């Protein structure tokens, strides 16, 4: 049996099972509803179909889940069996209760047909599904084993073909190797003859080159000696110039240091005068402001030393901070004089 036939059998089993379940549910509702209506208060007559629907819903759940578990090859344990039999027995009891209360044995037998058929169908369909699942698993295992045997045979044939091809390649390679060795022996002999001839020619050429090289080395040594003498003279001249430049730079540094020290003494002398009693001449005031700016004094202190206004001193400070601002010197000078 192939997979198509197995699926067809499963569909037939599933369709028949659900047909019986639906028929039994409909028959049960039609049979049990009058019984429930007779044993229910009049104002609650409309609830009569609820109990058969609940019981039949449990039957549907059991049948569906058993179908799924059977397809998966699983087993739900004892509780699904308890629920299956309990719902079947409840359906049987509800369907035969009315006839049993009336002591109608024929009615009991007639109304027991659908519940008993439902119980037996549920158990039988479950057994069928499990048997089909086992058969399908066995068939798939057999097919898998057959595929593995075919694959193994194909691998063995491929390995044998590779071995034969490898032997052929090794034989051809051996023949080619022997041919190459023979040709290499002939080529070696020819190469040895040519090598002897080339060696003799090379020795003669090397002797000539050695003589020429010796002459060239002699001329090269003479040229190198001349170059060394010229480089020594250049180094001496460079060293003399470097000493002269170093002496000149040292002299300039001393002169610059002396100028700095003299300027520092002059600034100290200007600042040591103390506050001016009146406005000093502009040249003297500018010198005092420059000395105060260099010493880091405040604008007010510089103004006290020179006797000029704070605005004029601020302008001179600005000129020292930014020499490019010298374009406004004349205007500020006039303002300072006016002050």
pLDDT for residue 325 is more than 60: no
Q: Give the range with max mean pLDDT: 135-149, 214-228, 314-328.
A: 214-228
More confident residue, 143 or 173: 173
Question: Which segment of 2-16, 227-241, 271-285 scores lowest on mean pLDDT?
Answer: 2-16
% of residues, the chain, pLDDT over 90: 12
Q: How confident is the model at residue 184 (pLDDT cuts 50, 70, 90)?
A: very high
| Average pLDDT for the chain | 77
Record the pTM.
0.31
Q: Given a cut of 80, is residue 195 above it in pLDDT?
A: yes
User: Mind listing the pLDDT tens digit for each residue in 196-217?
Assistant: 998 899 899 999 999 998 999 9
d(CA 216, CA 245): 42
pLDDT at 284: 78
What whole-number distance in Å separates Cα of residue 24 and Cα of residue 62?
Answer: 14
In this prediction, residues 102-112 reach a mean pLDDT of 74
pLDDT band at 4 (very low <50, low <70, confident <90, very high): low
pLDDT for 332 equals 40
pLDDT at 272: 67
331 has a pLDDT exceeding 80: no
Contact 125, 63 (CB under 8 A): yes
pLDDT at 247 over 70: yes
pLDDT in tens, 172-181: 999 989 999 9
Q: Write down the pLDDT at residue 330.
A: 41
- Helix or strand run (H / E) with residue 164: helix 105-271
What's the DSSP call for residue 326? Answer: G
Q: Which string of DSSP letters, residue by residue, matches 244-300?
A: HHHHHHHHHHHHHHHHHHHHHHHHHHHHTT-S-SSPPPHHHHHHHHHHHHHHT--HH
Q: What confidence tens digit (pLDDT) does each residue in 42-96 have?
A: 666 666 666 666 676 667 667 666 666 666 666 666 776 676 777 777 777 777 7
Distance CA 99, CA 107 (A): 5
Residue 334 has pLDDT above 60, yes or no: no
Q: What is the pLDDT of residues 253-282, one digit of tens each?
A: 888 888 777 767 766 766 666 676 777 788
Distance CA 33, CA 39 (A): 10
pLDDT of res. 257: 82
């Amino acid at each position: 049996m192939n997979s198509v036939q197995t699926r067809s059998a499963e569909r037939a089993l599933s369709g028949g099972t659900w047909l019986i379940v639906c028929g039994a549910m409909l028959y049960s509702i039609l049979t049990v509803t009058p019984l429930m209506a007779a044993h229910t208060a009049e104002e609650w007559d409309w609830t009569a179909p609820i109990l058969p629907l609940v019981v039949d819903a449990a039957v549907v759940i059991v049948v569906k889940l058993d179908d799924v578990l059977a397809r998966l090859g699983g087993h739900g344990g004892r509780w699904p069996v308890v629920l299956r039999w309990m719902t079947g027995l409840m359906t049987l009891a509800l369907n035969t209760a009315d006839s049993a209360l009336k002591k109608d044995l024929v009615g009991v037998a007639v109304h027991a047909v659908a519940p008993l058929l439902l119980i037996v169908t549920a158990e039988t369909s479950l057994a069928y599904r499990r048997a089909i699942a086992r058969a399908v698993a066995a068939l798939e295992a057999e097919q898998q084993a057959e595929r593995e045997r075919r694959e193994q045979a194909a691998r063995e044939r491929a390995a044998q073909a590779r071995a034969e091809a490898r032997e052929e390649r090794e034989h051809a390679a051996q023949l080619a190797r022997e041919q190459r060795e023979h040709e290499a022996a002939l080529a070696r002999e020819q190469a040895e003859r040519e090598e002897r001839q080339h060696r003799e020619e090379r020795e003669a050429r090397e002797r000539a080159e050695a003589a020429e090289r010796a002459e060239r080395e002699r001329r090269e040594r003479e040229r190198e000696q001349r170059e060394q003498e010229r480089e020594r003279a250049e180094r001496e001249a460079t060293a003399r110039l470097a000493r002269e430049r170093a002496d000149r730079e040292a002299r300039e540094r001393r002169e610059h240091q002396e100028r700095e020290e003299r300027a520092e003494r002059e600034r100290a002398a200007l600042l040591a005068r103390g506050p001016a009693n009146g406005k000093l001449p502009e040249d003297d005031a500018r010198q005092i402001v420059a000395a105060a700016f260099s010493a880091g004094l405040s604008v007010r202190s510089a103004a006290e030393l020179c006797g000029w206004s704070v605005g004029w001193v601020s302008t001179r400070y600005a000129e020292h901070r930014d020499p490019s601002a010298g374009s406004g010197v004349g205007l500020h000078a006039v303002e300072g004089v006016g002050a």
